[in-house]
Amino acid sequence: MGTIQALRGTRDILPSEVGYWQRVESVAREILGKAAYQEIRTPIFEQTDLYERGIGEATDVVGKEMYTFKDRGDRSITLRPEGTAGVARSVIEQNLIAAGGVQRLWYTGPMFRYERPGAGRQRQFHQLGVEVIGSGAARADAEVIAIATDILQTLGLRNLQLNINSLGKQQDRQLYRQALVDYLTPYKDELDKDSQDRLTRNPMRILDSKDKRTQEIAGDAPSILDYLGDDSKRHFEQVKQLLSDLGIGYKINPRLVRGLDYYTHTAFEIISDADNLGSQGTVCGGGRYDGLVAELGGSDTPAVGWAIGLERLIILLQQTANAPTSELDFYLVSRGDRAESLALVLAQKLRGAGFSVELDLSGSAFKKQFSRADKSGAIACLILGDEEAASQTVKLKWMATKEQEALAIADLLDKTVEMRQQIDSRR
């Protein structure tokens, strides 16, 4: 019988690389915690309607990329393709901003899009995202950008470029959209196939096309920045000033439109120039979405946020940093019935006292167990044989120097503070 393989566009995150994921999560958790963002966990599937209304039917995500199915109760269900709509739904449903306050939220987890898989592009992928819901202040835009920058820099990533744009308000966009269609229509036959479709459905997305000829044509298109009303201009100026105050460099890219319908005012992306990501170089994308909460039936509520693509981030991290390794204190080897039982009990006691302990379960010859101890990365090896079991002692071997000493088990468990210091000084 054939073996079963993971689905196309999905990947196992194996123990050898999971250290990167844990590092990203812990850095993010710490930075977000310091800025008073709270974690929210929403369901992985939602009513299909949520995404059709929230993201917009003309977008690629809703039009071509969703995993949508009927459940056994004949409801249309969609695996979440992104996190913002679910968070907004929850905030409305749970009345989280009833008091007119601001909610600072973050989330992480898998997202699902039916796309053509490639480097940094999967069908099940992971995002870490933040949403500040209830503030229309330019400071909120700048704060979320500063936090994204902080996370990426703390992880050690360099050569990242922040691109920003303003999409203005709905009215500004309508004027611009018309100007864009007027400009592009004469070139219709020269545009790539997708962009021809978008000309009526979602013309601003054409600016984002990866096709070379379309890019050339889009290069001379009118700029959204010339269509912004006074409020939109002021907001954009403030965001730029605040970024400068924060010492965050940026490039204005008037062709940055982003894929989802709900953006207003600020749109931004943080892009890496690493060539192994190719056209998948956008690590973080976000912006302001003042229309979304109302679109989903809530009160008029401004909001701003971003999402980092974790697979892409980790591809970059793997180039710049070694995989974080687990920090094992003891590797415990034992042989003989009494010694083996005692070893398990000792392992549990040491773990309870705060040490990390790997217990060799093989029952094989000491020599084989020692060679595994060598590879384990432990600071010390603890050895229990028949003799030690009979005398309630244990041999301790420091891996780096090969020095050995014999200890009474009771002493070892008694002097944990000294042992901790010894281990730390040898790490």
Nearer to ligand ATP among residue 198 and residue 312 (C-beta): 312
Other beta carbons within 10 angstroms of residue 390's beta carbon come to 11
Minimum distance from residue 308 beta carbon to ligand ATP (Å):
6
Minimum distance from residue 351 beta carbon to ligand ATP (Å):
37
Q: Per-residue string for binding with ligand ATP, 269-288, x by CB under 6 A?
A: -----------x-xxxx---
122 touching ligand ATP, by CB under 6 A: yes
DSSP output for 86-120: HHHHHHHHTTTTTTS--EEEEEEEEEE-----BTT
149 touching ligand ATP, by CB under 6 A: no
Q: Of these, 109, 110, 222, 259, which contacts ligand ATP (CB under 6 A)? A: 259
Q: Please, are residues 123 and 117 in contact by the beta-carbon 8 Å criterion?
A: yes
Axis crossing angle, helix 48-55 with helix 84-93, rounded to the nearest 10: 110
Which tokens is 257 given? Answer: 């439109």
**CA separation for the pair 330, 375 (Å, rounded):** 12
155 touching ligand ATP, by CB under 6 A: no
Q: Please, are residues 407 and 398 in contact by the beta-carbon 8 Å criterion?
A: no
Q: Please, are residues 382 and 342 in contact by the beta-carbon 8 Å criterion?
A: no
Q: Where are the beta strands (DSSP E) in 278-423?
A: 282-288, 303-309, 330-334, 357-359, 380-384, 393-398, 404-408
Closest by CA to 303, choosing from 60, 130, 126, is 130
312 touching ligand ATP, by CB under 6 A: yes
Closest by CA to 88, choosing from 307, 290, 309, is 290
**CA separation for the pair 314, 319 (Å, rounded):** 9
Span of 72-80, 101-109, 114-122, 134-142 interacting with ligand ATP by CB under 6 A: 114-122
Span of 239-247, 304-312, 319-327, 412-420 interacting with ligand ATP by CB under 6 A: 304-312
23 touching ligand ATP, by CB under 6 A: no
393 touching ligand ATP, by CB under 6 A: no
Minimum distance from residue 340 beta carbon to ligand ATP (Å):
46
Minimum distance from residue 153 beta carbon to ligand ATP (Å):
17
C-alpha dist (Å) from residue 235 to 104, 227, 229, 284, 347: 20, 14, 10, 21, 60
Q: Please, are residues 168 and 228 in contact by the beta-carbon 8 Å criterion?
A: yes
Q: Of these, 56, 120, 298, 305, which contacts ligand ATP (CB under 6 A)? A: 120
- Check residue 401 and report its DSSP letter: T
Nearer to ligand ATP among residue 130 and residue 217 (C-beta): 130
Minimum distance from residue 60 beta carbon to ligand ATP (Å):
7
Which amino acid appears at position 367 of this protein? Answer: K
291 touching ligand ATP, by CB under 6 A: no
Q: Of these, 46, 52, 82, 388, which contacts ligand ATP (CB under 6 A)? A: 82
104 touching ligand ATP, by CB under 6 A: no
311 touching ligand ATP, by CB under 6 A: yes
C-alpha dist (Å) from residue 60 to 63, 117, 213, 242: 5, 15, 21, 33
Q: Of these, 134, 305, 309, 385, which contacts ligand ATP (CB under 6 A)? A: 309
Query: How far from each other are the two terminal CA atoms of the chain, in whole angstroms?
Result: 48
Give CA 30 to chain center in angstroms.
14
Nearer to ligand ATP among residue 103 and residue 282 (C-beta): 282
113 touching ligand ATP, by CB under 6 A: yes
131 touching ligand ATP, by CB under 6 A: no
Minimum distance from residue 140 beta carbon to ligand ATP (Å):
18
Nearer to ligand ATP among residue 122 and residue 165 (C-beta): 122
DSSP output for 222-236: PPGGGG--HHHHHHH
**CA separation for the pair 285, 164 (Å, rounded):** 10
Which residue's Cβ has the minimum distance to ligand ATP?
309
Minimum distance from residue 311 beta carbon to ligand ATP (Å):
5
Span of 115-123, 143-151, 178-186, 368-376 interacting with ligand ATP by CB under 6 A: 115-123
Site for ligand ATP in 205-244 (CB under 6 A): none
Residues that bind ligand ATP (CB under 6 A): 82, 113, 115, 120-122, 125, 127, 258-259, 280, 282-285, 307, 309, 311-312
